[in-house]
Amino acid sequence: MTRLLLFTNEYPYATGDCGFVAREIPYLAERFDDVVVFCHARDTSPGRVQMPANVTLGGNLFERSDDDRLWTPLTPPNLALLADAAWRELRAGRLLRHLRLFLMGARVGITQANRRAVREAIAGDRDTVAYAFWGMGGGLGLAWLRGVRAKALRLHRYDLYEDRAPGGYLPFRRFLLARADRILAISQDARMYLAETYRDRRVDAKTVLSRLGAEGPEEFTRPSRDGDERLVVSCSAVTDIKRVALILAALRALPGMSDEAPVRWVHFGTGPLMDDLQRAADEAMATTPGLRIDLRGQTPNEEIASFYRDHRVDVLVNASSSEGVPVSIMEAIAHDIPVVATAVGGSPEIVGSELRTGLLVSSDPQPTELARAIRTVLDSDDEAFAPRQRWRLEFDATVTGARAAQLVRDLIP
């Protein structure tokens, strides 16, 4: 029997990474006889989503368990692995400066890997593969697992780019990469980052491009424009990294906007800076002729997709300072919406005039630069861009999900 141990952050609870994992889980369930999910969910209040028949929840590793012991890391096998991890960090000049974070991460990882439920899920099945959907959180235990045939690791953004991590450090990266048999990078930028940062041919050899993808309608025709109003949409958390306030500043500087040629901005998402954004939006509407703002807050994916089907969205804007490959952009181009985005992370792999998906601006643009790009897209003919074609080729979840599942399944000869 083939078994997959899938380590997630929140899935199958309906929050966090649930939307990402849900796009792959049907294909993983098709390729393995049995799938056991271990999550690391802080918040379980949203409840669990329905899973395929052969997928079960093995446990929430974030919750404390009776089999967690202070001496768990002190067994000879764990000490041997810990010595290996520490030696790799020491040679890289990373251990002494980040000793506390290293030990904290190792403690979490070893505890995860040695939970009774995890060990029981491994026992007795030779053809067991472990797949960590993240390189942090629920994925920290992957490096410390013993007894599985192979290990697959997916890397995104917060679990990949060390310079963006708190303190500029992610625990035992070299050890984690060495212990993985296959590394799934969500972008070419991620592959290049791994190659340039770790300079290890063995890591290069086992790293493959595996995009996340997004669902979209089988057939789609953009709604007709109603009147002179132009509709701008953004979809993200309201945080420093996402720079939603920069979008507002750009819209205030948008050329050609007036009460006779209005622009409506709809933002989906919330976050710690939401109150500040609401105050700035109220002030902007009171002082900027033609600007209308609708901050929708946290919105289910189905409602966003319905909005795209029912309204003529002229452009989606992403002003992030750091990205993997934004799912919000994938979902937009699935509905034939052109995009304006900053040239960070994997965004240039999905947005650009040569890709016919929209326009890129610099990684740290002034509001006027972003405003000019938005205006260019707003004034373009429908034939200027063909975003949905690019989605079909590279970002359709029915294609990317099946490919990722096969990359994991192929680890069993």
DSSP, residue by residue, 29-63: HHH-SEEEEEE--S--TT-BPP--TTEEEEEETTS
Q: Are 360 and 341 in contact (CB under 8 A)?
A: yes
Average the pLDDT over each of 64-78, 105-119, 358-372 and give the range with the smallest value: 64-78
Instruction: Supply the mean pLDDT for the chain.
Output: 94
Which tokens is 92 given? 């890289």
Question: What average pLDDT does the segment 181-193 reach?
Answer: 96
In this predicted structure, the answer to whether residue 413 has a pLDDT above a threshold of 90 is no
More confident residue, 56 or 164: 56
Residue 277: pLDDT above 70?
yes
The Cα diameter of the chain in Å comes to 75
The mean pLDDT value for 388-410 works out to 95
Q: Tokens in use for 294?
A: 């609708």
Model confidence pLDDT, tens digit, residues 247-268: 999 999 999 999 999 999 999 9
The candidate with the shortest Cα–Cα distance to 292, out of 319, 262, 313, 314, is 262
- CB of 82 closer than 8 Å to CB of 104: no
Q: What's the whole-number mean pLDDT along residues 81-98? A: 96
Can you tell me the distance from the alpha carbon of 111 to that of 14, in angstroms, rounded to the nearest whole number? Answer: 25
CATH H-level, domain 3-213+397-409: superfamily: Glycogen Phosphorylase B; (3.40.50.2000)
Q: Is 16 left (phi over 0), alpha (psi -120 to 50) or beta?
A: left
SS3 290: coil
Q: Which tokens hold the place of 200?
A: 């290890």
Euclidean distance between CA atoms 322 and 326, whole angstroms: 10
* pTM score over 0.75: yes
Asked if residues 144 and 150 have their Cβ atoms less than 8 Å apart, the reply is: no
CA distance 289 to 399: 45
Place 164 in a pLDDT band, splitting at 50, 70 and 90: confident
| Domain map (residue ranges) of the chain | 3-213+397-409, 230-393
What pLDDT is attached to residue 163? 85
Q: What is the mean pLDDT of residues 319-336?
A: 94
State pLDDT tens for residues 7-24. Answer: 999 999 999 999 899 999
Closest CA to 77 of 117, 42, 47, 119: 119
Provide CATH code, domain 230-393: 3.40.50.2000
